[in-house]
A and B are shown apart, each in its own frame.
Chain A
């Protein structure tokens, strides 16, 4: 149990849980209000896209180890621990998103929110793998911004507007799933873990 406790502590899971709970409560309270995005062809600001991006990035940034060198040199296989932690945190966030978006009505409801969450989790993992925790948010957030604005355009491919497509759109679900897989592969790749560990060992400044 000591190992689990230490992993939870070093990943700041208490802070993560507090953030997820706060965001879910706020989202449930104000999610049904009709904020509009776009001046000429306004679309409702989809909490089903904004809430998932906050939760997804919080989960992904929490999963990034702040001690890559120590974990790389550990006797245990930390890759499996990392995967298990990511899965557990993602599951907790998914449950909270499902609760927060349960009152949503319209074309994108709880199912769409969970789909968006999984796709944005993949984008968050991809962003962190490419740019680090400090700047990795630019990838999922830019995607949300572009997707929401694309809602006002007449023609748009699934790559752009998958976030605001209706719940049962298979193309959007497939795209979200492929993003999750791509993000998980990029994030958990042994080469990246090794590179982070060696870079941290060479220069303690590089973790920020």
Chain B
């Protein structure tokens, strides 16, 4: 412990700790839609490594090359200790500072989430995996600096780490995507995390942390037992991790494991995922608006459900689905448009994949904007559409509802034209 304390005092770790915390907090904040949902808060903490890992690797490379730059390697090698002890302590000192930086960012965000979130909890496995990634980047950087002790080694180590991480971000969905020390993933409250992938990532990154130490042991001519045990540990952990990741096939989430709701109201009954419980009031207000506009028409709604986008997005029978990404006004307005679109059937009649939008789409959008009471959702593109909009807005609510009832067939077939609005 004395050696570690001394190294912490004279090494670069403590100097760079504020920079690590600052870039980690910035990366986490940038990837966080809201802290009030545990899944988003966890994803934000895990993405802190995007910027922390390059800095950690570069600083570790600097620490690794310091003894050789200052012509002090003989002091380390002549000490009455295992030859690996000196480099290992130097590497550990930087790793401790990186871990403290990560824990500071994680602790702040998770405490904030604990005070505001209404459902669920963090994924400790994922957070541990992200921490292992930072330690692996540190160990690899240290080995690079130790083995290639040049002036620009720390800089190029940091740049290379940054470029590799940035390149890997676009390779989402492949099993080897999780071999890299820092990734950014999206975790929705409806989904569970795929444990096999997380365990594989932890095992791989743990092995990747030990492997540079094995290389260092070889470089400083440690005892054979030390080299062999470190190499064996690294190979076993990396092999196990790669095997688990390959068997997971790049799957990060188990889709729709938590399709649960908290519901309120009648006609319409508004259902929302418990993670967004604080948004129930705002969503009830939007749903009531749509229900009020479509009352006494064939498109009246009884129940609306929050659903994930894409897979699992189909609502239960008789309900209308909407998506909500974050508890913000813009997201509520977008969800209201989802409800209006689903209620009028515009999503099934007008928005067919692999076919051009039909001519009636513009007029269907006019009705969606009216039903959601969102004036910005429809912009007329010519004078006919402008006249249609003005004519429809001039009518009373009862008149509008009667018109919608009369033109229900045209709305369902997405064949409305501006000429119908008269």
Name A's B-contacting residues (CB within 8 A). Answer: 19, 34-40, 42, 45, 50, 53-54, 57-58, 61, 131, 133-135, 137-138, 141-142, 144-146, 148-150, 152-153, 205, 208
Contact = CB atoms under 8 A, between A and B. Distances in A.
Contact of B151 (A45, A53, A133, A150): A133
A39 B155 contact: no
Interface of B: 12, 15-16, 19, 22-23, 26-27, 30-31, 33, 47, 50-51, 54-55, 58-59, 62, 65-66, 69-72, 151-152, 154-155, 158-159, 162-163, 166-167, 169-170, 172, 184-186
Contact of A142 (B47, B51, B170, B186): B51
Contacts of A58: 152
Given A19-B152, A137-B154, A141-B54, 11 more contacts: A34-B170, A38-B169, A38-B184, A39-B47, A40-B31, A137-B158, A142-B23, A142-B55, A149-B26, A150-B30, A205-B71
B51 A146 contact: yes
A167 B152 CA distance: 30
Given A39-B172, A39-B186, A152-B30, A61 B23 contact: no
B16 A208 contact: no
A145 B16 contact: no
Nearest to B170: A36
A61 B62 CA distance: 14
Contacts of A38: 30-31, 169, 184
Contact of B159 (A53, A148, A205): A53
A134 B151 contact: yes
A54 B59 contact: no
B55 A138 contact: yes
B69 A54 contact: no
DSSP majority for the B interface? Answer: helix
A148 B72 CA distance: 39
A145 B154 contact: no
Given A38-B184, A208-B70, A134 B31 contact: no
Given A35-B170, A40-B186, A135-B12, A146 B33 contact: no
A45 B167 CA distance: 8
A138 B59 CA distance: 8
B167 A146 contact: no
- Please indicate which of the listed interface residues A54, A144, A145 has the most CB atoms of chain B within 10 Å of its own CB: A145
A205 to B, nearest CB: 5
B169 A36 contact: yes
Nearest to B185: A39
A35 B30 contact: no
Contacts of A42: 169-170
B151 A138 contact: no
A141 B31 contact: no
Given A61-B151, A141-B162, A35 B51 contact: no
Contacts of A148: 166
Contacts, number: 107
Contacts of B62: 134-135
A91 to B, nearest CB: 20
B159 A149 contact: no
B155 A57 contact: yes
B30 A149 contact: yes
Contacts of B59: 135, 138
B284 to A, nearest CB: 27
Which 4 pairs from chain A and chain B are nearest by CB?
A208-B69, A137-B155, A39-B184, A36-B170
A148 B159 CA distance: 14
Nearest to A208: B69
9 contacts: A39-B47, A42-B170, A50-B162, A58-B152, A134-B12, A134-B65, A134-B66, A149-B50, A208-B66
A35 B184 contact: no
A100 B163 CA distance: 18
A134 B62 CA distance: 6
Contact of A153 (B22, B30, B155, B169): B30
Contacts of A39: 31, 47, 169, 172, 184-186
Nearest to B12: A135
Contacts of A34: 170
A18 B33 CA distance: 44
Nearest to B186: A39
Nearest to B27: A149
B154 A50 contact: no
Contacts of A205: 70-72
A34 B151 CA distance: 31
A141 B55 contact: yes
Contacts of A36: 169-170
A148 B167 CA distance: 13
A75 B55 CA distance: 41
Output the residue of B15, B65, B155, B170 with the most chain A CB within 10 A: B155
A208 B170 CA distance: 37
B254 to A, nearest CB: 18
Contacts of A137: 58, 154-155, 158-159
